[in-house]
Structure 1
């Protein structure tokens, strides 16, 4: 694809694949994926259907601020005595309540992780070492044949110093800021930077 094709994205058919997106959008999605992994990786591994998993969830929900509200929102109307019995393992909730407890746990954990963006920043910054990033180019099968670029390939970078601003932009839903950050990232590609303004996917090693 010629250089002007990147400035006028879609003129030669690249927008024929909905998976071809601007880098700022792909960056936002990659950050959301990293946040989701952070929520699940640090969560309770044992299923709620096991005694261990149930007890761990109930302890979290009864000892963490917002836990009782999360249980109520999930549809749990049990008495304090019943909640204690579930937590101590002397009584077992019905299957529907087990599912509601699991929902309440993951909802509260997600809320608490998202309320602490510093943790995601730390995970991505890695004490200044940064995070590995894979940048996958657009799918050119939809591009007019004479305008395809044969040298496009997956690029790998070790990205540092931008993560605090990127996480802040994600939380604020600030696409303009993500746009500027993406420009900073692909600046490392020198003369190829324009070819990665639009891409298909970003993978983060975090």
Structure 2
């Protein structure tokens, strides 16, 4: 897209592709993906359909604050005695209840990870080395042909932005994420404006 097109995004048709978004929005999505990986990769690996997987989930749900509420929200209405039997492995829940226990576990784990963003910040900061960001430019097929320009996938090393970015994500502060993104791409020098809007961001984390 022409050098001034990013300043008036959509003036030449770039907004006709819903996948073309401000880098701040794409950064938020990339952080959500990283958070989801942190939640799942650090979670219980055994399926809830196994005795070990069920007992591990029940142990988590009964020893962490918010567990009973998470079970109720997932639709588990079993008595306290039944819950204890599930946790000890002396009884097995019906498939629908096992699925609900699994839902309750992942919902509670997600809330607990979100409430303590420190590990995600540490993961992205990597002791000051930062995390690589792969920047995919906007789809220019929808842009007026005379305003298209040659853009390629770029890669930058994001350093010293992650604490603020994770806090902005947790607060739902889109404006802060947008500002962080504009600051981050300054290292692209004169070409930075062309990457204010992107189609996708990938994090090397």
TM category (shorter chain) comes to over 0.9
Partner SS for 2:122: helix
1:5 and 1:76 map into 2 onto residues whose CA distance is 53
CA–CA distance in 2 between the matches of 1:102 and 1:4? Answer: 50
What is the Cα deviation at residue 79 of structure 1?
2.1
Counterpart-to-counterpart distance in 2, 1:198 and 1:82: 53
Q: Provide the residue aligned with 2:153 in structure 1.
A: 154
Which position in structure 2 is the counterpart of 1:127?
Answer: 127
Determine helix, strand or coil for the equivalent of 2:4: helix
- Counterpart of 1:2 in structure 2 is 2
Residue 193 of structure 2 corresponds to: 194
After superposition, give the CA deviation of every residue in 1:77-106 in whole Å (9 maximum; x if it has no partner). Answer: 222221121111111111111011011101
Which whole-Å deviations, capped at 9, do the CAs of 1:26-63 have from their partners, x for residues lacking one? 11111111111111111111111111111110111111
Aligned equivalents of 2:74, 2:10: Cα separation in 1: 45
Provide the aligned C-alpha RMSD in A: 1.0
Segment of structure 1 superposing worse, 78-87 or 50-59: 78-87
Partner of 1:54: 54
CA distance in 1, matches of 2:77, 2:16: 51
Name the counterpart of 1:44: 44
The alignment partner of 1:136 has SS state of: strand
The whole-number CA distance in structure 2 between the counterparts of 1:80 and 1:6 is 59
Give the aligned partner of residue 64 of structure 1.
64
Partner of 1:175: 174
* TM-score computed with the length of structure 2 as normaliser: 0.96
> CA–CA distance in 1 between the matches of 2:89 and 2:2?
66
SS at match of 2:49: coil
- In structure 2, distance between residues paired with 1:190 and 1:48: 51
How many residue pairs match? The answer is 205
Q: TM-score, normalised by structure 1?
A: 0.96
